[in-house]
Structure 1
Amino acid sequence: MRVTLASQPAEPGRENEDFAAAAPGAAVLLDGAGVAEAETGCTHGVAWFSATLGGLLLSTITTHPARPLAECLADAINAVRTLHEDVCDLVHRASPTSTVVAVRAGAGALEYLVLGDSTLLLADRDGKATAITDKRLDEVGRRLRGPVDELPTGSPEHAAALAEYRDTLAGHRNRSGGFWIAGPDAHAAEQALTGVVPLELLASVTLLSDGATRLVERFEITTWQETLAVLSSSGPGELIRRVRGAEAGDPEGRRWPRGKACDDATALHWVLPL
């Protein structure tokens, strides 16, 4: 199993709320959702939540190879809940949540699960790239974030509008007509996108947090095919370097309106044997 991985926090010295890891025949990536220094009701924090959930999920999907990925995720969510429900306020409006991407190879097929706005990028033997992304958060966000995108990123006015947007967005979390993400309630796992792809068709599998997909999804200056070429030739670290270069060229979000000038960025690239 040949895996390369790169992960970088939004800013030097800040905690990275992304988590990614691999085990023989399996990999997971999580992007924790939170606001730096904001009250969440959790004494542990967002990075703890995404890393703990990710570690437990990877353990579950490898030790129970016949159990569906959605059920493994529900088990992991419940396990994390038991670890901190006695000391943390899990009904807090801003209780930590996380996107989830998980893959597992076995019996000639790759199983996958995607929940939230992280991305699974599949490359076939002919070099074609197919991205699997849960678009429900983006669809809700587009309806709500107009006032945020009209203001310079990082300005006091932008920060105030962003806080109001996030508070409103929380009201659409894990409910019909809104979007779904891993948090205190294991029922969210039932809403994940899942599927199976024959392994013989695949050349590589890549797991990406939304901070690593900005060149395609947010900035629209490259394609999934070009992203795959960078990953294959230069690796995940080069992809993140290019994202940082684009972000640095538009620090106030004038060209590309966004909530954060920079975001945690993680890419895990798994090359499958011929």
Structure 2
Amino acid sequence: MRVTFATEAVPGRPNEDFVAATADAAVLLDGAGTPPGSESGCSHSVAWFSRSLGSTLLASMTQGTGTLAELLAQGIKTVASLHDGTCDLSHPGSPSATVTMLRHTNDMLEWLVLADSVLVLDVVDAGEPMAICDDREAQVGALHRAEMDALASGTDEHVSAHRRYVETLRSYRNRDGGFWVAATDPLAADQALTGNMPADQIRAAALLSDGASRLVERFHLHTWSHVLDVLEQSGPDELIRQVRAAEKSDPQGVRWPRGKTFDDATALYCRS
């Protein structure tokens, strides 16, 4: 695979996304940030968690055997062992992340998607790209975000409402009827969306954090086909530039209500 990627943090904050790749494997994580004033029970940052789990997963994808779900379960266990003696891993706010994994092996392309990052596949002879996203968190969130979305982004009231929203969603995290993310419970890996396809049936693939996919999913400015065209013709940096331009055009969230005015944005594009 020929791979290009780019990632850009919110200015003034550490990047809580993680992306890395080899010639035959790619992984992208989007860490779930802890709002100001909210506890996590952990002395480590979300960025630390994303880097630790992401690097562990990439190593296992290139060196180990097993399904992607098995590798994710083992990766969650490994990272938990790094801080179970110093942190409260039972805390509902313990650092967590979405996970997207892609691996080319034995003429097959395998994938795993857990939580709301997006995998977009350009499939040969298909009329439209295949977008794979685990939208369970969005479904739960839609029931609780009205207060936050009614307030102008950047105000103290919006910051407080966003914190309450995040803390409410924690009660749904990693349980039936809620949504699943990579945190401390390896059983979350069993809830991931997985699949495979002959590699020669896929022209290209894109891994997007929700900060990059918001051009389609929240802003509705582009289609997945357009996103793939931008990535092919101009690369991931241009896709992120378009995200930032849209965010800057609506700083108070009037046109597009959202929890974060700006979000870490990461895009990886690969083609055979």
Distance 2:250 2:208 in 1: 22
User: Residue by residue, what CA displacement relative to the aligned partner does 1:85-137 show, whole Å, maximum 9, x if unpaired?
Assistant: 10111112211000000011111111100001000011123574211000101
Residue of structure 1 equivalent to 2:183? 183
Distance 1:125 1:4 in 2: 21
User: Residue by residue, what CA displacement relative to the aligned partner does 1:160-193 show, whole Å, maximum 9, x if unpaired?
Assistant: 1111111110000001110000001111001000
The question of whether the paired residues in 2 share the 8 Å contact of 1:141 and 1:169 is answered with yes
How far apart are residue 221 of structure 1 and its match?
Answer: 1.2
Residue of structure 2 equivalent to 1:85? 84
Residue of structure 2 equivalent to 1:267? 267
Residue of structure 1 equivalent to 2:243? 243
Residue of structure 2 equivalent to 1:103? 102
1:161 aligns with 2:161: yes
Distance 1:82 1:107 in 2: 32
1:165 partner SS: helix
> In the TM superposition, what are the counterparts of 1:188-227 in structure 2 within 5 Å?
188-227=188-227
1:256 partner SS: coil
How far apart are residue 43 of structure 1 and its match?
Answer: 1.4
The question of whether the paired residues in 2 share the 8 Å contact of 1:34 and 1:94 is answered with no
How far apart are residue 39 of structure 1 and its match?
Answer: 3.0
How far apart are residue 271 of structure 1 and its match?
Answer: 1.4
Residue of structure 1 equivalent to 2:25? 26
Residue of structure 2 equivalent to 1:124? 123
The question of whether the paired residues in 2 share the 8 Å contact of 1:231 and 1:239 is answered with yes
Unpaired segments of 5 or more residues in structure 2?
Answer: none
Distance 2:251 2:89 in 1: 35
The question of whether the paired residues in 2 share the 8 Å contact of 1:18 and 1:30 is answered with yes
Distance 2:268 2:16 in 1: 15
Residue of structure 1 equivalent to 2:64? 64
1:212 partner SS: helix
Residue of structure 2 equivalent to 1:145? 145
The question of whether the paired residues in 2 share the 8 Å contact of 1:215 and 1:222 is answered with yes
1:42 aligns with 2:31: no
TM-score where L is the length of structure 1: 0.96
How far apart are residue 258 of structure 1 and its match?
Answer: 0.1
Distance 2:231 2:125 in 1: 16
Residue of structure 2 equivalent to 1:234? 234
How far apart are residue 10 of structure 1 and its match?
Answer: 1.6
Distance 2:72 2:88 in 1: 21
The question of whether the paired residues in 2 share the 8 Å contact of 1:28 and 1:101 is answered with yes
The size of the alignment, in residue pairs, is 270
How far apart are residue 75 of structure 1 and its match?
Answer: 0.3
User: Residue by residue, what CA displacement relative to the aligned partner does 1:180-236 show, whole Å, maximum 9, x if unpaired?
Assistant: 000011110010000011111111111100000111001011100101100000000
2:42 partner SS: coil
Residue of structure 2 equivalent to 1:134? 134
Distance 2:148 2:168 in 1: 12
Letter of the 1:220 partner, please give it: H
Letter of the 1:80 partner, please give it: V
TM-score where L is the length of structure 2: 0.97
Quote the RMSD (CA, aligned, Å): 1.2
Distance 1:183 1:68 in 2: 19
Letter of the 1:160 partner, please give it: S
The question of whether the paired residues in 2 share the 8 Å contact of 1:17 and 1:50 is answered with yes
Unpaired segments of 5 or more residues in structure 1?
Answer: none
How far apart are residue 24 of structure 1 and its match?
Answer: 2.6
